[in-house]
């Protein structure tokens, strides 16, 4: 039988059957999945996602304050009282080295919670594209079905997540002619084709990209468009995201 490569364009679509036994790549290009890759590459020990700011505060109280960073966005800026927002530029090595980041985001966190039952859950973006792709291709070659799950924006379709999903579909299927695509995977290829050579244009046309520029985060877009600039494979398991390292290869 052919392996399946499906794309989910909005987070509410994930049913247990879509997820069971699969390698799942969660994409939230602007900005959570980019920020997660940046923070891990810059030396963060782990990132623990939470559904809301209150849960972050509760967990922080149980940990050494100097070991943790409270991170989260509300209307694109930091949650009031938190150390950091959701901008990848807020997580340089001198800030995150060895730290545990407690993070809440608007879009990505609820989706992660729906992915119980997956074989592996990875976090993908443009900045760690090839690293995650290598993992996905190896899984598909081994006969594992794959799901690319777009976090979207406020539960709605997002142009940039779809384009990035299409990039995974395009490169995953190269040389694997028997892969079966769902309708959303086919559509993501068409979106990817339009923007592949101009991620600046992608962000300029996406509603989330335009909102970030209006909110003063234009420079974030350049970071998020840096293909393979933070080569790392973030893995979500046991409710935390860590870097897949040589000692954790499977």
What residue ranges bind a copy of itself (CB under 8 A)? 9-10, 12-13, 153, 155-159, 162, 182-184, 186-187, 190-191, 193-194, 205-208
Q: Which is nearer to a copy of itself, 100 or 173 (CB)?
A: 173
Smaller CB distance to a copy of itself: residue 33 or 42?
33
Smallest distance from a copy of itself to CB 154, Å = 10
Q: Which of 37, 13, 49, 16 lies closest to 151, judged by CA?
A: 13
Least Å from the CB of residue 5 to a copy of itself: 13
Any residues with CB less than 8 A from the CB of 201 and at least 6 apart, and which?
A: 195
Least distance from a copy of itself to the Cβ atom of residue 203, Å: 11
Residues found in the chain: 250
> What does the longest C-alpha to C-alpha distance in the chain come to?
53
Q: Minimum Å distance from CB 241 to a copy of itself?
A: 26
| 202 within 8 A of 195, measured Cβ to Cβ | yes
The residue (of 57 and 187) whose beta carbon lies closer to a copy of itself is 187
Which of residues 10 and 100 has its CB atom nearest to a copy of itself in the complex?
10
CA 49 to CA 238: how far, in whole Å?
11
DSSP 123-171: EE-STTHHHHHHHHHHHHHTT--EEEEE--BTTB--HHHHHHHHHHHHH
Least distance between a copy of itself and beta carbon 31 (Å): 16
C-alpha triplet 97, 119, 33: angle, nearest 5°: 40
Least Å distance, CB 158 to a copy of itself, is 6
Closer to a copy of itself by CB, 41 or 208: give it: 208
Quick one: 10 or 242, whose CB is closer to a copy of itself? 10
The C-alpha atoms of residue 4 and residue 201 are separated, in whole angstroms, by 31
């Amino acid at each position: 039988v052919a392996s399946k490569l499906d794309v989910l364009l909005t987070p509410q679509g994930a049913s247990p059957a879509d997820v069971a036994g699969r390698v799942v790549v969660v994409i939230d290009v602007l900005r959570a999945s980019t920020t997660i890759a940046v923070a891990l590459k810059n030396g963060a020990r782990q990132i623990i996602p939470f559904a809301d700011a209150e849960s972050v505060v509760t967990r922080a109280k149980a940990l050494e304050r100097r070991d943790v960073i409270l991170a989260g966005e509300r209307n694109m800026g930091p949650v009031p009282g938190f150390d950091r927002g959701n901008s990848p530029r807020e997580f340089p090595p001198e800030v995150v080295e060895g730290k545990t980041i407690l993070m809440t985001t608007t879009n990505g966190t609820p989706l992660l919670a729906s992915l119980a039952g997956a074989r592996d859950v990875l976090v993908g973006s443009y900045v760690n594209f090839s690293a995650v792709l290598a993992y996905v291709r190896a899984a598909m070659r081994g006969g594992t079905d794959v799901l690319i799950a777009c976090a979207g924006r406020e539960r709605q379709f997002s142009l940039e997540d779809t384009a990035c999903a299409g990039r995974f579909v395009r490169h995953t299927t190269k040389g694997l002619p028997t892969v079966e695509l769902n309708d959303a995977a086919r559509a993501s290829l068409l979106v990817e084709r339009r923007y592949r050579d101009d991620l600046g244009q992608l962000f300029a046309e996406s509603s989330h990209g335009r909102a970030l520029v209006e909110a003063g985060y234009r420079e974030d877009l350049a970071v998020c468009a840096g293909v393979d600039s933070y080569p790392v494979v973030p893995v979500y398991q046991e409710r935390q995201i860590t870097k897949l390292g040589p000692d954790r290869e499977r």
